[in-house]
Structure 1
Amino acid sequence: MSSHLDLVPPLVEKGHFGDLLSSNETISVSSSSYDSSLAIFMTPNHITMNPKNTTTTYDEPIYFASYDIAPSSERRLFITDTAIIFNFLQDMLKSSKGKEASWLQSSDATGLIRQRAIEYVNFIKECWIHTSQPMPRPDGPLQFTSNHYRILYSCFSLFVLLYIPEPEYEKAPVGEELMEWLNIHFIEPSTEEGDHLSSLDSPWEDDSFWPYLTRATLRGLTKASIFFFHTLLKHPSREMQDLIPVVIPLLESQPRLQNFKAERDFAYASRRWLDKVKALRVEMDRVPEELRFDDHDNWWDSLSDIVGILEGRGEVIQRVSEELGADWKEVCCAWGVFVDTRFRREDLPEIVSEVVEQMPPDPTSMEDMIHSALFSDQPEQALRHAAQFDPWLAAHLADLMESLGMLDTSVNSESELSKRDEYVLSYTDYLHSDPTLWRIIVPYMYSCGEIGRERGDALLLRVPLYLHVKKTSDSSSLAAEAIANTVKEVSALCLEHQREHVRREACKVAAQLLARQKDYGLAVTYYISAEDWPGLGRVIDRVLEEYIQNGPASFASYAAKFIHSLQELPSRINTEGIFAHRLTFAVRYAQIHRLRAEGESPAAIFEIITLLREEIAPKSWWAVLLCDAVDLLQGGSNSLFSSNDLVLLLRRLEEIHIRTSQGCGDDYLNVLLRTIHGKSEKDALDRLKPVRFALAKYFARCTVSGSHNGVTLSQ
């Protein structure tokens, strides 16, 4: 993240701050909740309003800026893939909460943490190799150079080497491992130098010969050293030719810890080997001063430096390293191979402190400063430098450090965050420069205590449910599909992190959006999922309004999509009864109109009777249902209604008249009145007169035919 922003052209020129003060203006900033961008603009300190016009236009340029450049190209892939490793580690740490408190310090836990850390290292290495290769980049140029990933690789692998060794090897000598790390990440001497020298008949005559051979020996590059020592068998100095057969076997037989089963055996072999080196020193000292030169240089001094390295003389190693242009790291790594072959990880800070007094790290190189802090066992300082270099590195190192017990877990009184959480949330701020990375950002946030969870909740509730879709014949279905897919992903994250209230709120937002788009079927599904019963009621009302405004066909097409939601309701024990009834009514009333359209009058009549008998239908719709029932009688047979059904219809009709006369007509006649576009209750009652007449006529017809089952009109 940048510590400052440069605006081009500048709002205020350098050295002209006084002009800003005299202009009576202020630099204003507005932050975006969608991403990490800012809008920057000038505003007057005082605006004189025109009394005749309450609005004033103030023209000023608006700058849009961001502290971070959104991840793209290879960086985006790097972020998404390493997030998978992070989530695996968090899952492991969550599962450990059900175990004993000491489990995290056990070898099993350390082994699992080491496995995740090595996965980070391997992936960084792959990314470095990928970015190093000259190849076409269809996704655009690299956002970060291969050197950036090389630095990540060197820092992360050093951290794993020093702080997450293999279980049971925590107390093992570390010198050879450090030298191997140095040779992998900082290749010296170069292959080109070796190729050049090997092509010469008398390579010792080249100015780079002895520096190359000295550094190859210092780095423990045995094969290269032995190869060029063999060339010295042809050296014109007889004394040199006599010494080389002693040097070569020493290089070949230098003890390596990995070749011994017990450290005790390694220590014994090292002492024996060092005795042989001392014997070589005695042989060298016998060479007369005047015979220590050839035609080009003092070969004896150069060979003496190499023998001094093999002897483990710290002052020689440090002097030679400075002469060769090496840094403090090379001295520290060589120390564990030649000076003290048994030094352990806990011994390293003391050695480093001595070396850096004479060879300090480069303060202009974040890589060198991170290495220095890690070598010196200063994890918090390493994190500060890592944060300056790349927030990704600081966040993931901090995450591992806390799990290993390397960081203080206490909460800062000001930020209310632990050290680890500060770096992880800073990384999420960087990621938020690209709001489409919300799927990755949220798990990081949810791993950061209550503050992180609050931020994660807020981010999920701001996730755009769909991007603007071009208006086509399929645009509404595409939008609905986009919303459904996004809500599904949001819900999955909420369920994974036990954020049920956020899931419900997201479903509620989706339902509102879908309702505005008239996708009532999906809207109802999400309102039920959110358990937002008032919202469910509003959607049902809007669908019923479709009947009033646009007729039964439009209403039926919308309400038919509620069937699946209606089937879900019984499984929800907390469902509000009134809203369940309203949803049931909408679905079954749509079914009535479908049956009517298909000529299934008996089935339609049965549904109407059921809605009225079971009081599923709201009273405001009774008049409409009675009109529908009478319409079905026109031309129908005498067997559409039973006498009991007929009595029920007459009773509902009578209740409407009685309640209307008592001043409650709006509760019973409002829907019918709006449906027939009437102006008063009288219009609605007039519409019901044919209903009463038709029912009486039908009852009479049933009486004549003998199908009244003994029920008289007085009933």
Structure 2
Amino acid sequence: MSVLSSCVVERVLIMLKADPNGLRMQDASSSSDQRVYLAKSHHAPTSERRLFVTDTSIIFAAMQNLVQRIRRERIKMLDDEECVKAISKLVTDYINFCKECCIYCSQPIARSEPLQYNAEHYRKLYTCFSLFSVLYLPDHGREHAPVGEELMEWLNTHYVEPTTEEGDHLSSLERPWEDETFWPYLTRSVNLYATSFVTYPLIPTRATIRGLSKASSFFLDVLARHPSPTLQKLSQQLIPLLTGHPRLHQFAAERDFAIAARRWRDKVKSLRLELDKVPEDDREDGFENWWDRLCDIAGILEGRVEVIKKLCLELGADWKEVCIAWGIFVDPRLRRQDLPEVVSHILDDMPSDPTNLEDMMHSSLFLGSPAQALSDAAQIDVWLAAHLADVLEPLQLIDDDPDDSDLTLREQYVLSYTEYLRSDPALWRITVDYMCACGDVGKETADQVLMRVPLRLQIPKDATASDEESARIRTGNLAGVLKEINATCFEHQREKVRRIVCRIAAQTFLQEKDYGLAVSYCVSAEDWTGLGRIVDRVLDEYVVQGPEKYARYVANIAPSLQTLRSNSGANGVFVHRLMFAVRFAEFHQRRMQGELHDAAFDLATMFREDIAPKSWWAVLLSDAVELLLNSETMLFSSQDACLLLHKLEEICIRSGQGSKADYLTVLARTTKSGEEAAALQRLQTVRLALARYYARCGVIDVGGRTAMATTY
């Protein structure tokens, strides 16, 4: 059972314990908005299945683009030839993929892992999708044309019997009619044109049922060596009837085809008269009653239903072969819309096999019941049901109204398929694409998938790579999963989810102390309170780690600050606080690099432009002591010195009035004791440094005004 289903079941059990008589909602008014979806357990796709799933998802995406264009341009699908052709082309692509996968799985090659589905499984997909195409997607202009020949081609393509080995055996015999398999093989032969594995003309009654005139003629011609002159004569009369059987594709108009078919039927009646004239004692050759066998062939050509049914039962054929032979011999002008009635009549005598899901789906398609066909398809493969439903809805072959679950029939099957896809977390992109094609319910489900895709942004704890290697890995992750999630959200217009994912990424980077990326993704998520928390964490690094590491942590935040300044929707309070963190880091960076004039200018500017929060004034003044005591040059102007003194006085006065927590908490944390008394003691050092510096400024003002002006 999947993780989702086990969690849901556990929750339901807890609710049942609390209320054994039923699942009562605490708030009855909101019970209609609460739904429980049970997931199904599936085995994750193996390599061959994953390739099949990913390749066919491209066709599915093309189908969604086509349907969106149809809706956007308000095209009447069934009246638009180009749209129908486009859908038919996509269905053909599905069929070809099924065929290729069937061929691949049937190859006797060494594989790295066992096949999840064998060739027989993909043959079923190939057969079912092909039959759907024949019955429901005819070429333009052939919607009301006779369907018999197309169905016969489908039958000969997918159900090749008897085997080529049997044909080889009979062809090698000098007197093949003496073999017990000769007449059955003649009745049921393979189609030379339906498979590339047959390299010679084959055999007559099954070949006749399948409408394979050339194959039948081959073995009828062999009968020219038969010891019975009567059989020789009749077989030679039968050959032109088989080879001259009218086919619809040979005529430009259906009317011409109908006339030719009637004339041909008259010739078959003549053959019947010749057969009836054969004496009783001349109807056997010592091995077989050849006259009965020729009568069976003549009965097929005459379109006698009872003969066709009898022969199909004797040869082990099923209802499909009878139905298709009906469209060739009984009613050559049988149309698609008339097929369900004929099939229903045949199924009464030759029902489909309820233990064979493929056969049940075929009967549903023949009967014109696509909804039932979807139910059968879901039991064969959830992939088949989902993609078939996706084609049926735009063709208006199934209901597109949502039921009580707010899902259409198509959406139900597609979402069932996404549950299968979720068995492989690596297929999350495809899963989301399918979900977002299923209305609001599907999009909301896709939101939950997107929010739970593992980002894997943390550097492994056991990593032994260098810092450069770690940076490369991190960059790869950013360009991979996180970037793809953002692109997917943008493609499907899931902006709310994109912001949540960016917020999750920002929290991860915050834990990893990658503050530049944390700020960047907070800005992308427009999470201003989160940005405030990041700034607080960054400033804490100064208190805990000291100015050197603090400056290094903040180095990558500056680009995000530029983005924030150009963002009109950004929260000014948090932007202002981030600006202080960056400017404070730049101040220490210049101070450590010996750029003392610039450092002093930065410190004074933070006070002058009111960038620094009041809680950090004391820290700034404490950091200014080193610059104030510099003996080589005067780094602050007298006005700046006065400004620093005013800030110091405000801190002392406010602290004395009961606001120590507002002004001294941060500075206190930088001291060994962590107490406010130690912070006040440090401020006395600042006061002494300012007094000395101001005194030096006074001396310069008296005798060295020109020198000081030159310095600034």
Q: Does 1:524 align with 2:519?
A: yes
Q: Secondary structure at the match of 1:97?
A: helix
Q: Does 1:157 align with 2:148?
A: no
Read off the aligned partner of 1:632 and give its amino acid letter: L
Query: What does residue 74 of structure 2 align with?
Result: 100
| Contact 2:207/2:216 (<8 A) preserved | yes
1:425–1:177: structure 2 CA closer, same or farther, 3 Å change rule?
Answer: same
Q: What is the aligned counterpart of 1:576 among 553, 571, 575?
A: 571
Deviation per CA, 1:127-146, whole angstroms, max 9, x where unpaired?
000001100112x0101111
Q: What is the aligned counterpart of 2:42 among 68, 79, 82?
A: 68
Q: Secondary structure at the match of 2:338?
A: helix
Q: What is the aligned counterpart of 1:121 among 84, 89, 95?
A: 95
| Contact 1:638/1:701 (<8 A) preserved | no
| Contact 2:40/2:419 (<8 A) preserved | no
Deviation per CA, 1:333-385, whole angstroms, max 9, x where unpaired?
11112221111111110110111111111111000000000010011111111
| Contact 1:490/1:503 (<8 A) preserved | yes
Q: Secondary structure at the match of 1:403?
A: coil
Query: Partners of 2:229 and 2:423 in 1: how far apart?
Result: 70
Read off the aligned partner of 1:145 and give its amino acid letter: N
Q: Does 1:32 align with 2:10?
A: no
Identity of aligned pairs, percent? 54
Q: Does 1:202 align with 2:193?
A: no
| Contact 2:519/2:557 (<8 A) preserved | yes
Quote how far apart the aligned CAs of 1:37 are: 10
Deviation per CA, 1:530-556, whole angstroms, max 9, x where unpaired?
111111111111111011011111211
Query: What does residue 659 of structure 2 align with?
Result: 664
Q: Does 1:192 align with 2:165?
A: yes
Query: Partners of 1:395 and 1:163 in 2: how far apart?
Result: 17
Query: What does residue 133 of structure 1 align with?
Result: 107
Quote how far apart the aligned CAs of 1:481 are: 4.6
Query: Partners of 1:562 and 1:207 in 2: how far apart?
Result: 89
| Contact 1:154/1:185 (<8 A) preserved | yes
Read off the aligned partner of 1:604 and give its amino acid letter: A
Read off the aligned partner of 2:485 and give its amino acid letter: V
| Contact 1:321/1:331 (<8 A) preserved | yes
1:591–1:389: structure 2 CA closer, same or farther, 3 Å change rule?
Answer: same
| Contact 2:669/2:675 (<8 A) preserved | no
Alignment of 1:1-12 (within 5 A): none
Say which is worse superposed, 114-123 or 80-89, in terms of deviation. Answer: 80-89
Q: What is the aligned counterpart of 2:328 among 334, 337, 349?
A: 337
Q: What is the aligned counterpart of 1:422 among 412, 419, 422?
A: 412
Query: Partners of 1:644 and 1:300 in 2: how far apart?
Result: 127
Query: What does residue 701 of structure 1 align with?
Result: 696
Q: Does 1:219 align with 2:228?
A: no
Alignment of 1:213-292 (within 5 A): 213=186, 214-292=205-283
Q: Does 1:367 align with 2:358?
A: yes
Relative to the length of structure 1, the TM-score reads 0.87
Read off the aligned partner of 1:601 and give its amino acid letter: L
1:169–1:558: structure 2 CA closer, same or farther, 3 Å change rule?
Answer: same
Q: Does 1:440 align with 2:413?
A: no
Quote how far apart the aligned CAs of 1:467 are: 8.6
Query: Partners of 2:4 and 2:513 in 1: how far apart?
Result: 28
Read off the aligned partner of 2:267 and give its amino acid letter: K
1:67–1:473: structure 2 CA closer, same or farther, 3 Å change rule?
Answer: same
Read off the aligned partner of 1:418 and give its amino acid letter: T
Query: Partners of 1:204 and 1:262 in 2: how far apart?
Result: 41
Quote how far apart the aligned CAs of 1:441 are: 1.4
Query: Partners of 1:627 and 1:326 in 2: how far apart?
Result: 98
Q: Does 1:181 align with 2:151?
A: no
Query: Partners of 2:534 and 2:475 in 1: how far apart?
Result: 16
| Contact 1:402/1:409 (<8 A) preserved | yes
Deviation per CA, 1:265-295, whole angstroms, max 9, x where unpaired?
2222222222222222222222222222212
1:571–1:348: structure 2 CA closer, same or farther, 3 Å change rule?
Answer: farther
> How many pairs were matched up?
662
1:68–1:405: structure 2 CA closer, same or farther, 3 Å change rule?
Answer: same
Q: Secondary structure at the match of 2:287?
A: coil
Alignment of 1:322-471 (within 5 A): 322-413=313-404, 415-466=405-456, 469=460, 471=462
| Contact 2:77/2:84 (<8 A) preserved | no
Query: What does residue 586 of structure 1 align with?
Result: 581
Q: Does 1:109 align with 2:52?
A: no
| Contact 1:189/1:216 (<8 A) preserved | no
Query: Partners of 1:680 and 1:332 in 2: how far apart?
Result: 96
Q: Does 1:602 align with 2:587?
A: no
Query: Partners of 2:130 and 2:559 in 1: how far apart?
Result: 55
| Contact 1:34/1:435 (<8 A) preserved | no
Q: Secondary structure at the match of 2:557?
A: helix
Read off the aligned partner of 2:180 and give its amino acid letter: D
Query: Partners of 2:325 and 2:696 in 1: how far apart?
Result: 114
Query: What does residue 497 of structure 2 align with?
Result: 502
Quote how far apart the aligned CAs of 1:105 are: 4.9
Q: Secondary structure at the match of 1:296?
A: coil
Quote how far apart the aligned CAs of 1:440 are: 1.7
Say which is worse superposed, 185-194 or 484-493, in terms of deviation. Answer: 484-493
CA RMSD of aligned residues (A): 2.7
| Contact 1:217/1:225 (<8 A) preserved | yes
Deviation per CA, 1:151-203, whole angstroms, max 9, x where unpaired?
11101111111112222221221111111111111101221111111000011
Q: What is the aligned counterpart of 1:633 among 628, 631, 645?
A: 628
Read off the aligned partner of 1:437 and give its amino acid letter: L
Q: Secondary structure at the match of 2:111?
A: coil
1:103–1:703: structure 2 CA closer, same or farther, 3 Å change rule?
Answer: farther
| Contact 1:521/1:561 (<8 A) preserved | yes
Say which is worse superposed, 517-526 or 230-239, in terms of deviation. Answer: 517-526
| Contact 1:37/1:67 (<8 A) preserved | no
Relative to the length of structure 2, the TM-score reads 0.88
Q: Secondary structure at the match of 2:555?
A: helix
Q: Secondary structure at the match of 1:561?
A: coil
Query: Partners of 2:612 and 2:230 in 1: how far apart?
Result: 115
1:225–1:708: structure 2 CA closer, same or farther, 3 Å change rule?
Answer: farther
Quote how far apart the aligned CAs of 1:126 are: 0.5
Say which is worse superposed, 102-111 or 572-581, in terms of deviation. Answer: 102-111
Query: What does residue 489 of structure 1 align with?
Result: 484
Question: For structure 1, which runs of at least 5 residues remain unmatched after alignment?
Answer: 6-30, 47-64
Query: Partners of 2:489 and 2:158 in 1: how far apart?
Result: 42
Read off the aligned partner of 1:445 and give its amino acid letter: M
Quote how far apart the aligned CAs of 1:653 are: 2.2
Query: Partners of 1:529 and 1:300 in 2: how far apart?
Result: 86
